[in-house]
Chains A and B, each alone.
Chain A
């Protein structure tokens, strides 16, 4: 069996774990504990994913490693919040509206999406946004904007200026898929996975009870 080609930077958070341990995704994603990241050879991976609920203080100390990975042509995906200690952008928190689909189904948090991007191609608008965690108030000059909210604030952006491709969004597909309380996230995450490594997962998200209560070390 092939080794996973996507490194999922792991902050010890259970949703990161449940996502990467699911049989549907375990052959695609390799958990890399954030405190082990400095000693990890990222060249073994095609892509690196930094999920929501990450430790951005530690990631700040790994800045050179992350940009070296990009310079080598890798893809880096950042979701949720981020930090200007390592990303040339400014993220700000905003109230989370996760009930718009009940109260105002015609007013989604994201109002503009570039559906020509490979991650978004073929997605229905609802599959392209469930809720957002904040917005970017500054992004690099060379960035392409892929999604905005109704206030025109930046939700998702991408740049190739560092060598590989850096894709950042305030959506949280990995964490929410790990939590398994939104039932339609396979659409987004499977497109994302295909973009990250060139192969698309199939089937349903399953959980093996034996993975819970198991020692990490």
Chain B
């Protein structure tokens, strides 16, 4: 087994973030607190995680740092709605023209196995309401892979390996972590959300060591 990846988790002090990213054999985490003046060095990390509920004013302030991180081959995971323009090549847009009750998640393309072993109904339903909480949609870069879309074919989970030298894994504010955000106590939903995240972690881990080997 290779060494675990090192991940930085952006933390803006919101309740509930601690405990969502427990260390595993694949990844160990450090919290990066939002603070000014910005003195940030993320070059030693493999992965930068921007969790649900993050500070996108701060992320815009460190846009150049993120771009340098990606240029060096890093992996960016943003599981939030980035309303400021800090994610290279991809845009998130909020939208309330569709009803949440009508949302059904659909796999479009899954070359890296993010949805392996996942019961998609765990995303669609939880205790009779939605089992996941994607909001709005992504306007992806032209060469990005759309993994999941909604009822109206709008991208919700994408992988972009072309806009930068690194990898971007982006959700339309759909929370992904080793746990869930207490929006559900339905076991099927918790398993689905955590399962996708673990599949993503395994993909990132395998990709890094395949790259180093090559």
Contact = CB atoms under 8 A, between A and B. Distances in A.
A201 interface: no
Interface residues of A, number: 39
Contact of B183 (A33, A93, A96): A96
B13 A207 contact: no
The majority secondary structure among interface residues of chain B is loop
Nearest to A10: B57
Contacts, number: 113
Interface string A5-48: 00000111110011000000000000001010000000000000
A181 B83 contact: no
Interface in B53-84: 53-61, 80-84
A183 to B, nearest CB: 8
Interface stretch (B86-94, B112-120, B159-167, B204-212): B86-94
B93 A13 contact: no
A57 interface: yes
A191 interface: no
Contact of B135 (A33, A181, A183, A209): A181
A8 B85 CA distance: 22
Contact of B127 (A12, A102, A180, A212): A102
A85 to B, nearest CB: 11
A129 to B, nearest CB: 16
Nearest to B33: A57
A55 B14 contact: yes
Contacts of B130: 181
Given A17-B83, A95-B185, A103-B128, A12 B12 contact: yes
Given A14-B81, A95-B182, A102 B92 contact: no
B182 A103 contact: no
B127 A33 contact: no
A214 B91 CA distance: 10
Contact of B91 (A12, A53, A205, A213): A213
Given A181-B135, A214-B84, A55 B12 contact: yes
B12 A18 contact: no
A93 B15 contact: yes
A169 interface: no
Contacts of A17: 56, 83
Interface residues of B, number: 42
A215 interface: yes
A55 B17 CA distance: 12
Nearest to B90: A213
Given A213-B85, A213-B91, A13 B12 contact: yes
B80 A14 contact: yes
A81 interface: yes
Contacts of B55: 11-13, 55
A180 B129 contact: no
Contacts of B61: 217
B126 A99 contact: yes
A61 to B, nearest CB: 11
Contact of B13 (A58, A179, A211, A217): A58
A133 B182 CA distance: 10
B87 to A, nearest CB: 9
Given A35-B34, A216-B60, 8 more contacts: A98-B183, A99-B129, A181-B135, A183-B99, A213-B91, A215-B84, A216-B84, A217-B61
17 contacts: A10-B57, A11-B13, A12-B58, A13-B14, A14-B56, A17-B83, A55-B55, A103-B128, A133-B15, A181-B100, A181-B135, A212-B83, A212-B93, A212-B136, A213-B93, A214-B84, A216-B60
Interface of B: 12-16, 34, 36, 53-61, 80-85, 91-96, 99-100, 126-130, 133, 135-136, 173, 182-183, 185
